[in-house]
């Protein structure tokens, strides 16, 4: 017979989301702005404007 008592407490989940959830949202927004900014900076520093910069992976953009 399955247990009718849940170990999930909705109030505790909402309280945790309110207290530390904003950190994840701010982190996402910063990355959401930083990646296109790196791409725009690399594109604007090209001399001829028509050369495509090929990166091996996401982390080579900031190198």
Tens of pLDDT, residues 21-31: 999 999 999 99
Q: How far is CA 57 from CA 38, 45, 61, in A?
A: 13, 20, 7
Q: Is 22 inside a domain boundary?
A: yes
- Token look-up 């996402």 returns 28
Tens of pLDDT, residues 39-62: 888 777 766 656 666 777 777 766
Per-residue pLDDT band at 6 (split at 50, 70, 90): confident
In the predicted model, is pLDDT for residue 36 greater than 90? no
Q: Is 21 inside a domain boundary?
A: yes
Give residue 62's pLDDT. Answer: 64
Q: Is 28 inside a domain boundary?
A: yes
Residue 50 DSSP one-character state: -
Distance CA 40, CA 3 (A): 55
Structurally, the chain folds into a number of domains equal to: 1
Which residue segment(s) compose the domain that 17 sits in? Answer: 10-60
In the predicted model, is pLDDT for residue 4 greater than 80? no
């Amino acid at each position: 017979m399955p247990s009718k008592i849940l170990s999930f407490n909705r109030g505790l989940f909402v309280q945790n989301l309110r207290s530390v959830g904003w950190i994840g949202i701010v982190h996402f927004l910063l990355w959401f702005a930083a990646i296109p900014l790196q791409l725009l900076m690399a594109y604007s520093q090209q001399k001829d404007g028509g050369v495509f910069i090929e990166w091996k992976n996401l982390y080579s953009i900031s190198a």
